[in-house]
Chains A and B, each alone.
Chain A
Amino acid sequence: MVLCYVYVNVPFNFRMKRMKRIDENSNDSTSVNPPEPFKRIRPEDSEGPHAHCVSDDYPVCDWARLPQELLLHIFQYLPLLDRAYASQVCRGWNQAFHMPELWRCFEFELNQPASSYLKATHPDLIKQIIKRHSNHLQYVSFKVDSSTESAEAACDILSQLVNCSLKTLGLISTARPSFMEVPKSHFISALTVVFVNSKSLSSLKIDDTPVDDPSLKVLVANNSDTLKLLKMSSCPHVSPAGILCVADQCHGLRELALNYHLLSDELLLALSSEKHVHLEHLRIDVVSENPGQHFHTIKKSSWDAMVRHSPKFNLVMYFFLYEEEFSPFFNEEIPVTHLYFGRSVSKEVLGRVGLHCPRLVELVVCANGLRPLDEELIRIAKHCTQLSAIGLGECEVSCSAFVEFVKMCGRRLSQLSIMEEVLIPDHKYSLDEIHWEVSKHLGRVWFPDMMPTW
C-alpha cells in the first residue's frame, strides 16, 4: 500500500472541527459494508478524538484523522484495488472511499474465463456501485468480451442505472461484437433506460450494437441539447432516416461515426444547416458484405456544403472493399482527410485519390500488388499538399520514385511508415542508400518498418 508522508498544515481549531465531524459521521447508521474479496487489514479505530502525539511541539499526524479533502486528493491517485485496500483501514478512510467524486467514472469490465484471458470487475463491486453510487456515475463504459453472457450482464447493469445522469456512455466489445447476440428487445430496453433518465448525454459510443431507429428517436427526444458525440459504426438496424433524425435535432453534434450505408446527401446538408454547430469529425466505414456489392454515390455539392459550413472538419474514411467495388468512389473531389484502405486497392483508385483528395492528411494502404505505385505516389505528393502521414503495406515502389515522393513532401511528412519489402532497389538507389536519402529530406533519422526474418 502506498503511504505518503503528509505534512498537515492546518490550524488547530480547524483540525478539531474536522475530527469532530468525522466522529459524527462515524455514528452514522450506514454500516461499513465491505465488498467480499477485500479482507480487513486492521481493526477500525475507536471513536473519540484521541491525539496520537509524539511530542506537543509537532502537529498531530494521526492517519485516521486526515481531512476528507486530503484523502480524496490522495485516493484519486490510487488505482481502484489499492483504494479498496485503503478503505479497509478505518472508518474515516472507508467513508472517503465512498465519496461521490471518486465514483464519477467507471469502466465495467465484463469477461468470462472461457472467452477471455483478462479479469472481470468483481460482481460484488458491481452490486456495491449500483447500490451506493449509481447516482454519482457520470462517465461510464462497458468493456465486454466475445461471450453473449458478458453483453447481457452489461445490459442488466444498464437497466439498473435509473438514478443516473450520465454524460458519457460507451459500449465497447473488445473481441467479437457480442452485443449483437443479445436479444434485440433486451438491449433496446436497457439502452433506453439510460437515454430517458440521463437527459444530459454528451458522448455516446454504441458501435456494433443492435440499436435501431426508434431508440435513436428516444435518444434525441431526451438529449438533443447536450449530444456532442455519437459513434455508431456497424449498427445494421439503423436506417438513413434514423440518423437523419439525429442530425436534424441534435444541433450540437460535433462528432459522428457511422457506416457508409447511412450516409446520404440529406444527412450532410442537415449537418451543414445554419442551426448546426461546426462539425469536427465525421468517420465513415465503407464495408462490403458480399463481393460485388453496390454502393450509392454522394453528390459533390453535399460535400461542398459540409466544407463551407465546417471548413476545418476532418473526414475519416475506412474502406474494406473488394477491388472491383471502388467504382462509385473518388470520381469527384471529396474532402477526405484521413484515408485507410484495409484491403487491397488498385493502382487506378490510388491514381484517382491523387486527383480528387486535396485535403488529404493521412493515407494508409494495406495492400496493393506487385506493380509499382511510382506515378500514383508522385501525384499524391503534388496534389495533396496537406499530407503529413503515409503508411504502405504490401505494395511496391521503386526507390527512386520513393525518394522523389519524400523530396516533394519534405518535412511535412511526420509519419512515414513503409514496410521494408515495399521498396524496390533500382539503378539509382539500393536499400541501404535509401534510408540516408530519405532521412536527409525528412530532417530526421528514418528507417523502413521491418518484420522479423526467421
Chain B
Amino acid sequence: MVVNTIHWFRKGLRLHDNAALRDSIRGSDSLRCIYILDPWFAGSSNVGINRWRFLLQCLEDLDASLRKLNSRLFVIRGQPTDVFPRLFKEWQINRLSYEHDSEPFGKERDAAIQKLASEAGVSSWIIELNGGQPPLTYKRFQALINHMEAVELPAETITAEVIKTCVTPISDDHDDKYGVPSLEELGFETEGLTTAVWPGGETEALMRLERHLERKAWVANFERPRMNANSLLASPTGLSPYLRFGCLSCRLFYFKLTDLYKKVKKNSTPPLSLYGQLLWREFFYTTATNNPCFDKMDGNPVCVQIPWDRNPEALAKWARAGQLRQEGWIHHLARHAVACFLTRGDLWISWEEGMKVFEELLLDADWSVNAGSWMWLSCSSFFQQFFHCYCPVGFGRRTDPNGDYIRRYLPILRAYPAKYIYDPWNAPEDIQKAAKCIIGLHYPKPMVNHAEASRINIERMKQIYQQLSCYRGLGLLATVPVNPNNGTNGSSQVPVGSVEDTSVQDVPPRAERTQSTQKRRHEDALNEGSSKSWRQSK
C-alpha cells in the first residue's frame, strides 16, 4: 500500500530532534511538511508585527532546510478543520503526524483534527507525555524532577539518510500556491521597521546555542552572572524566542548544557538550577495543561481572586514600553519590574491586561508561560510571597546607575544627568530646561506616587491573603499554602474585628463562617513519574 504522509508543523519548527517527523517518515512513500496559517489571525489577533516576522523567518528557514533534502515546506492558508479534509482528498493522505501540543486550546483543536482524520481513514501519529495532577509549587516540581527517569536523548536530525526513498511531490507553481508569505502580503505596514534583533529560524537558533554555551563556560564557570546595564540589552546568545517557537529543541539544549557542565566541572552532577530556564517552561506547561482558564482570574482554580482596578488610561500609558515594542524582548528582571509596577506594586491593574500586552509584543511569550509568569509576578498564585515589591526608580538606579538603558529606549530623556534620569520629575527646573525636556510637557508626570501606591497596595494584598488562614497574625511573611483551597472563602461575610489577631476579635456567631465549596486537590496524588507513550490511532 502506498503511504502518503503529512507532517503538520505547529510549534516544533525544526528538523533536529523532531521525533514525530522522523518516525512518520519510516515507511512513507511521500512526505509533505505543512504549516497552516490562518489569514484572519494576522489582522485581528493580538499578535504584533515582531512575532509575525519571527514566525515567517522560521518558516523560510524550514523551507530552505527542506529544499536541501529535495523537499519543501507547504504553507497552507485557512483553518485546520477546513484545510485537512481537502488535503486528505487531494493528496490521498493516509498518515498524519504532528508533535503533541499540551496547551488546552491545542488539545481541543487536535482532538477535532484527530476525529476528522479517522473519519477520512487517516492514522494519526502523535507523541505525548502522560502525567497526573500538576505540582503547584516550583519547589515541589523540582523535587519531582529529581525523581523522574532520565530525559530521553534527542531524536536524530532529519537528513537525506533518514528520508531515504521518501519523496515530496513539488509542483512548478509551488511558490505561488504554498510559498511562505511576506509581512506585506499578510497586511502589515513594514515601512520604518527596523532590522530584526532576533532573526527567526532553526539555523539561527542552533548558532546561538553554540555561542550561548561558549559564553556560559567562559563566564566564571557557570556562575550566575551579576546584573548590570548590559544585561538589560538583548543578547546575541539569548534563546528564549527560539525555545518558544520550537526552533531549538529543549532536549537538545538540556543535553548540550549537561555535557558542557560535566566537561568544565570534571564530571560532577549538574544542579537543577542550571536548567532554570527550561524548568520554568516545563513547570508552567504542566500546571496549565488541564486548565483552560489558566489565563484568567475568573474561574481559575489556581488564581487568587484579587479586586484589581479597571483603569484603561493608566494601562495605555504603561503599555508604551520602549524596548518591548521595538524589539519584542526585555530582560526577565525588567519583566518582573514592569509586571510588579502594573499590578501589585503601583497601578493595581489586573495581570490579565499585562499578559495581553506581552502576548502581543513578546517573541517568547507563549500561552502557559506568559499567563503563569504574570500570575506569579502579580502574586496571584498560591506560591509567592508578596512583600517583594520593585521600586521602579530604585531598581533602575541599582542595576544601571548611569541610565544607559533609559537613554537608549527613551531618547527624550537622554540629556538628563544620571542623578535624575530615573526620577526626572524630581529634577529642579533649570536641569529640566537644560535637558530640553520639561516634565509634564515633553514627558508625562509620573502616574503614581510610588510610596503611597505601594503602601496602599501592600495593605490590599495583605487583606486578600488574610482570607487564607495562614496569613493571620501581624507579620507579612507566612507559610505559603501548598493547597490553594485551604481556608479560601468564596463570597463570605467576614466580620471585620481584628484581622491581625484573632484573640481581640469580636467573634461573631460561629455560624457565619461559610465553608469553602471548592474541590480540594491533593498534591500527593501526583504521579511520581512521567512516562512517555507512543500513541497511534487508526
Q: Are A168 and B451 in contact (CB under 8 A)?
A: no
Contacts of B311 in A (CB 8 A): 115, 146
* Contact of A366 with B494 at beta-carbon distance under 8 Å, contacts A174-B460, A452-B372 already known: no
Contacts of A447 in B (CB 8 A): 139, 142
Provide the A174-203 mask, 1 if CB < 8 A to any CB of B, else 0: 111100000000000000000000000011
- Contacting residues of chain B (458-508) with chain A, CB-CB under 8 angstroms: 458-460, 463, 474-479, 490-498, 500-501, 503-506, 508
Q: How many residues of B contact A (CB 8 A)?
A: 84
Taken together as a complex, chains A and B put the C-alpha atoms of A306 and B71 apart, in Å, by: 84
- Is A318 an interface residue, CB under 8 A from the partner? yes
Taken together as a complex, chains A and B put the C-alpha atoms of A81 and B517 apart, in Å, by: 13
Q: What is the distance, in angstroms, from A190's C-beta to the closest C-beta of chain B?
A: 17
- Is B188 an interface residue, CB under 8 A from the partner? no
Q: How many A-B residue pairs have CB under 8 A?
A: 246
Taken together as a complex, chains A and B put the C-alpha atoms of A102 and B513 apart, in Å, by: 11
Q: Are B388 and A419 in contact (CB under 8 A)?
A: yes
- Contacting residues of chain A (162-176) with chain B, CB-CB under 8 angstroms: 167-170, 172, 174-176
In this complex, the interface size class of chain A, counting residues with CB under 8 Å from chain B, is 35 or more
- Is A128 an interface residue, CB under 8 A from the partner? no
Provide the A217-246 mask, 1 if CB < 8 A to any CB of B, else 0: 000000000001100011000000000000
Q: B452's contact among A107, A168, A287, A450, by CB below 8 Å, is which?
A: A287
- Is B106 an interface residue, CB under 8 A from the partner? no
Which of the candidate stretches A11-19, A35-43, A387-395 sits at the interface with the other chain? A387-395
Q: Are A117 and B497 in contact (CB under 8 A)?
A: no
* Contact of A105 with B387 at beta-carbon distance under 8 Å, contacts A141-B496, A370-B398 already known: no
- Contacting residues of chain A (402-454) with chain B, CB-CB under 8 angstroms: 415, 417, 419, 421, 425, 430-432, 447, 449-454
Q: What is the distance, in angstroms, from A383's C-beta to the closest C-beta of chain B?
A: 20
Q: Are A254 and B307 in contact (CB under 8 A)?
A: no
Q: Are A229 and B455 in contact (CB under 8 A)?
A: no
The closest CB in chain A to the CB of B390 belongs to A394
The closest CB in chain B to the CB of A176 belongs to B309
Contacts of A340 in B (CB 8 A): 387, 458, 476
- Is A351 an interface residue, CB under 8 A from the partner? no
Q: Are A168 and B495 in contact (CB under 8 A)?
A: yes
Contacts of B336 in A (CB 8 A): 451
Q: Are A417 and B498 in contact (CB under 8 A)?
A: no
Taken together as a complex, chains A and B put the C-alpha atoms of A358 and B53 apart, in Å, by: 60
Q: Are B297 and A117 in contact (CB under 8 A)?
A: yes
Contacts of A234 in B (CB 8 A): 455-456
Taken together as a complex, chains A and B put the C-alpha atoms of A343 and B394 apart, in Å, by: 8
The closest CB in chain A to the CB of B275 belongs to A453
Q: Are A118 and B476 in contact (CB under 8 A)?
A: no
Contacts of A369 in B (CB 8 A): 398
The A interface is mostly helix, strand or loop, or mixed, namely: mixed
Contacts of A263 in B (CB 8 A): none
- Is A208 an interface residue, CB under 8 A from the partner? yes
Q: Are B458 and A342 in contact (CB under 8 A)?
A: yes
Q: Are B309 and A105 in contact (CB under 8 A)?
A: no
Contacts of B240 in A (CB 8 A): 454
Q: Are B385 and A118 in contact (CB under 8 A)?
A: no
Q: Are A366 and B514 in contact (CB under 8 A)?
A: no
Q: What is the distance, in angstroms, from A261's C-beta to the closest C-beta of chain B?
A: 14
- Is B100 an interface residue, CB under 8 A from the partner? no
The closest CB in chain B to the CB of A233 belongs to B459
Contacts of A302 in B (CB 8 A): none
Contacts of B398 in A (CB 8 A): 344, 367, 369-370, 394
Q: 20 A-B residue contacts at CB 8 Å?
A: A80-B493, A115-B311, A117-B297, A168-B495, A254-B504, A255-B498, A255-B504, A285-B455, A288-B451, A320-B455, A321-B451, A340-B458, A342-B458, A343-B391, A366-B387, A391-B476, A391-B477, A431-B271, A453-B280, A453-B332
Binding site for A on B (CB under 8 A): 138-139, 142, 223-224, 227, 240, 271-273, 276-277, 280, 284, 297-298, 305, 307-311, 332-333, 335-336, 348, 350, 364, 369, 372-373, 376-377, 384-385, 387-391, 394-395, 398, 426, 449-452, 454-456, 458-460, 463, 474-479, 490-498, 500-501, 503-506, 508-509, 511-512, 514-515, 517
Q: A146-B309, A229-B497 are in contact. List 14 more A-B contacts (CB 8 A).
A: A81-B491, A107-B493, A107-B494, A139-B495, A145-B307, A340-B458, A366-B387, A367-B394, A393-B388, A421-B333, A451-B332, A451-B376, A452-B284, A454-B240
> Sorted from nearest, which 6 A-B pairs have the closest CB atoms?
A76-B511, A170-B496, A139-B495, A174-B307, A175-B309, A432-B271
